[in-house]
Amino acid sequence: MRASRLCVVFALLALGLPAFAEPKAYELVKYRGKAAGLTIAFDFGDGYPEASEIRITPEGGGGSRKLVLDQSGGMRFVLEKNRGSGEEVILKMSPGDAPPRKVEGTYRAGGQVTRFTLVKR
């Protein structure tokens, strides 16, 4: 009798656990490109643009910089840790767009503007 109760408890737990798993509400689409000695990686949260981020890495190393979506409503990214630095990436797409094959954008830092194209991976 005790063993049957134990089996019932385990069966209910096994059936109930997936009910607590929350489904992912967006897909992460990855883009990559190079321009002016930089590698630019863009992760687009299709369905949840706030999950999008950009990483910029100089070719010679030196560590990458993470940029996150600002609150302007467009696809403008600023440094995660130093938002007022003036360093930004602006992408030519709307947050609500379906993920295109290519994304064009501009990177601004230190008074210089670099244009680039990212390709879906």
pLDDT tens-place string over residues 62-89: 789 999 998 887 899 999 887 667 789 9
DSSP letter (8 states) at residue 22: P
Distances (CA, A) of 61 to 38, 54, 70, 110: 10, 17, 26, 19
Fold of 27-120: Lipocalin (2.40.128)
Q: Pick the residue with more confidence: 7 or 26?
A: 26
The domain spans of the chain are 27-120
How far apart, in whole angstroms, are the C-alpha atoms of residue 15 and residue 9? 10
Mean pLDDT of 36-55: 94
What confidence score (pLDDT) does residue 52 get?
94
pLDDT value at 16 more than 80: no
Mean pLDDT of 104-111: 93
Question: Phi-psi bin for 72: left (phi > 0), alpha (psi -120 to 50), beta?
Answer: alpha
Token pair of 32 as six digits: 């990559």
